[in-house]
Amino acid sequence: MNMVWFLLHLVCYFVALSYGVYTNASSRPAYVNIGAILSFNSTIGKAAKIAIEAAVEDVNSNSAVLGGTKLVLTMQDTRYSGFLGILEALKFMETDTVAIVGPQSSVITHIISHVANELQVPLVSFAATDPTLSSLQYPFFVRAVPNDLFQMAAVAEVVDYYGWKEVTAVFVDDDHGRNGVAALGDKLAERRCKISYKAALNPQVSRNDITDVLLKVTLMEPRVIILHAYADWGLQVFDVAHQLGMMGSGYVWIATNWLSTVLDTYLPLPSVSLNLVQGVLALRMHIPESGPKRNFVSRWNNLSGKKRLGGHLGLNTYGLYAYDTVWLLAHAINALLDQGGSISFSKDSRLNDTKGGRMHLNAMRIFNEGNLLLKKILQSNLTGLTGPIQFDSDRSLIHPAFDVINVIGTGVQRIGYWSNYSGLSVVPPEILYTKPANRSTSNQHLYDVTWPGRTKTKPRGWVFPNNGRQLRIGVPNRASYPEFVSQVRGSDKMIGYCIDVFNAALNLLPYAVPYKLIPYGDGQKNPNYNELVNLITTGFFDAAIGDIAIVTNRTRVVDFTQPYVESGLVVVVPAKKLSSSAWAFLRPFTPMMWCITGILFLLVGVVVWILEHRINDDFRGPPKKQVATILW
């Protein structure tokens, strides 16, 4: 009887086990819908579209990735329009889409993220680099590409490496451009540099707009120009700059990674276009060399040839990140299903059509497992074509790094790397990751650069502006010690030793300095030097000349030159002209002082005689001898 019960329990166990395995397998859907939002005809979109389609094909052909589940991809073209981007995103929400690859544009991402938050559909973008998208306002947005915050940190370190302190920022006036330049300003401020002029370009830019903006830039003092634009029209800026003479010697142009995207996508560029960017520095997202990357690059000619009839299309870094984004989603979906999760949707009671409406809002449904899928995405730890794919506590990819390139001749030359780990270096970041971090100034290196004008000499980075403004230099109008500095009565001319030193320094400069000396004070009494220094900090004066003492509270707000008058420790006494004589040695003391000194001298001798004459024979004898001994 016991054996019968045992066999019965054993059969039930295997039935239950078989049923469990069956239900687990059957819980995996046959397919999962994902979407992609990008501009098909944009420089980034052309490569990304091919890469995304290739990634979906590779995932579906590998049964080990999703265990038999297939990805069904739907791609929507925004055609550079934020409005169309919103409409295409709403279409996805009607088709039970579990995640969206993109959007490509930061502007569209800002808007669509609100829809994604409501319907709990993760947005995984390979190109939206606006730093403000990392805020808590967009919990369902995941950036699978380095944040522009790191790119602007790289630009700031390049500026600081060459010793420039002020730059001009030319940027597209939208969320992508404004927020990127705001991040640049913060990173420059950390290094005591600044953006002295911001030149905004209309997103629907025209050649006339560019000309008007660059003409204003030519009037500014800085000659270091940071160009943060879009790959589709950024070369137009260089074309106008070339016509305005802004690509010659003395100028410095640093382009963000849009320029490297153009060069990688369309290289070799026509010689006319390539001549426009000679000597320009640019950044490119760093992709470490690997076997999978080399294999994909070798496939690219066939992939791009099939998809594009207009000729060869180069593979840019955004294409690699787009490919990895699909694989990131595939692994996250697989982790969700492995955990026993399902793909289900439910209606949002708040999304009801208004009476007579035709928008069919009730067709949009909430992805019930959206939070769990988002969690799996952020917990991902895999290696793709772009290197390790892993997120830190700020939801940014680990190990952000950029190549620093210089456009020379018919191509580009890499002059170094930047990484958030070690700063500027000529050693690849993946090698430095194995060593202790060293961000000391002595450890920052880049190779030599060929600057605009085909010169190897580092540009000064600034000139005196062409807007007629002179340096306003404050000069204390003293009442005492006019030898240091004073105003010639009846004129504005300033003279004195300090003025002579200033003029001598100007004569050593290889360029002219327009300036105006402005007296500070009424000449009846000495002015307050602290107030004079404070007027420099407020911008009323650009500098000050005079016998201004270098003291601690002043060095905290302004910079001083090396001191050219230094007194050291001295004693000031009245000077009198006296005749010299044999009794000159008596002059240091008064007669009273000499009398007191003599009395003290005799008193000390008497005290010594009293103490010694009882035991010391030298202090005995006739009174005359004892007096002589006391005096001795």
pLDDT mean over 592-602:
85
Residue 83 has pLDDT above 90, yes or no: no
pLDDT band for position 596 (50/70/90)?
confident
3-state class (DSSP) for residue 516: strand
pLDDT band for position 242 (50/70/90)?
very high
Output the CA torsion 369→373→379→384 (10° steps): 160
Query: What pLDDT sits at residue 12?
Result: 42
Cβ(224)–Cβ(452) under 8 Å? no
Which range is most confident: 480-494, 538-552, 571-585, 615-629? 538-552
Residue 218 bridge partners (DSSP) = none
Query: What pLDDT sits at residue 614?
Result: 73
Query: What pLDDT sits at residue 259?
Result: 97
pLDDT mean over 406-423:
94
Residue 416 bridge partners (DSSP) = 404
Cβ(121)–Cβ(140) under 8 Å? yes
Window from 66-75, 244-253, 354-363, 582-591 with minimum mean pLDDT = 354-363
**Owner of token pair 């805020």:** 135
Selected residue with higher pLDDT from 190 and 269: 190
Cβ(95)–Cβ(33) under 8 Å? yes
Query: What pLDDT sits at residue 469?
Result: 73
pLDDT band for position 466 (50/70/90)?
low
pLDDT mean over 33-58:
95
Structure tokens at 259: 């320029």
CB atoms within 10 A of CB 80: 19
Selected residue with higher pLDDT from 192 and 604: 192
320 Cβ contact partners less than 8 Å away, ≥ 6 residues apart: 51, 287, 293, 296, 385, 386
pLDDT mean over 400-429:
95
pLDDT mean over 509-516:
80
Residue 95 has pLDDT above 80, yes or no: yes
Query: What pLDDT sits at residue 197?
Result: 95
- What is the CATH T-level fold of the domain 471-555, as seen in this structure? D-Maltodextrin-Binding Protein; domain 2 (3.40.190)
71 Cβ contact partners less than 8 Å away, ≥ 6 residues apart: 31, 32, 34, 56, 59, 60, 326, 329, 330, 333
pLDDT mean over 441-460:
93
What is the residue type of 228?
H
Which range is most confident: 17-31, 268-282, 586-600? 268-282
Residue 18 has pLDDT above 60, yes or no: no
First to last CA, the chain: 137
Query: What pLDDT sits at residue 8?
Result: 43
In the chain, how many H helices and how many E strands? 20, 22
Query: What pLDDT sits at residue 9?
Result: 44
Residue 65 has pLDDT above 90, yes or no: yes
CB atoms within 10 A of CB 250: 17
Residue 540 has pLDDT above 80, yes or no: yes
Query: What pLDDT sits at residue 255?
Result: 98
Measured in whole angstroms, the distance separating CA 181 from the mean position of its chain's CA atoms is 9
Listed by start position, the domains of the chain span: 28-147+293-390, 148-288+399-443, 471-555, 584-631
Write down the pTM of the prediction.
Answer: 0.76
Kindly indicate whether the domain formed by 28-147+293-390 is annotated with CATH number 3.40.710.10.
no
Q: What is the overall mean pLDDT for the chain?
A: 87
Alpha carbon distance 328, 305 (integer Å): 26
Selected residue with higher pLDDT from 582 and 455: 455
Angle at the Cα of 256 (from 388 to 264), degrees rounded to 5? 70
Residue among 107, 153, 154, 97 at smallest CA distance from 128: 107
Structure tokens at 354: 């208004």
pLDDT band for position 17 (50/70/90)?
very low
Residue 258 has pLDDT above 80, yes or no: yes
pLDDT band for position 144 (50/70/90)?
very high
Residue among 602, 470, 92, 110 at smallest CA distance from 101: 92
Residue 345 bridge partners (DSSP) = 367
Structure tokens at 96: 């039970």
Asked if the domains at 28-147+293-390 and 148-288+399-443 fall in one CATH topology, the answer is yes
Query: What pLDDT sits at residue 4?
Result: 42
DSSP string, 67-129: TT-EEEEEEEE-TT-HHHHHHHHHHHTTTTEEEEE--S-HHHHHHHHHHHHHHT--EEESS--
Structure tokens at 337: 């299903």
Alpha carbon distance 211, 189 (integer Å): 29
CB atoms within 10 A of CB 483: 12
The CATH number of 148-288+399-443, from 3.40.50.2300, 2.60.15.10, 3.40.1010.10, 3.90.1150.170, is 3.40.50.2300
Please tell me what DSSP assigns to residue 353: P
Q: Please state the three-class secondary structure of 247-293 as a single string.
A: CCCCCEEEECCHHHHHHHHHCCCCHHHHHHCCCCEEEEECCCCCHHH
Query: What pLDDT sits at residue 127?
Result: 96
Rg for the chain, CA atoms, rounded: 39
Query: What pLDDT sits at residue 106?
Result: 93
Window from 232-236, 352-356, 560-564 with minimum mean pLDDT = 352-356
Tens of pLDDT, residues 467-483: 667 889 999 988 788 88
CB atoms within 10 A of CB 398: 14
pLDDT mean over 223-249:
95
3-state class (DSSP) for residue 37: strand
Residue 501 has pLDDT above 50, yes or no: yes
Query: What pLDDT sits at residue 616?
Result: 76
550 Cβ contact partners less than 8 Å away, ≥ 6 residues apart: 560, 563
Cβ(312)–Cβ(304) under 8 Å? yes
Residue 620 has pLDDT above 80, yes or no: no
Cβ(486)–Cβ(545) under 8 Å? no
pLDDT mean over 309-327:
88
Residue 274 has pLDDT above 80, yes or no: yes
pLDDT mean over 577-601:
77
Which range is most confident: 150-154, 335-339, 588-592? 150-154
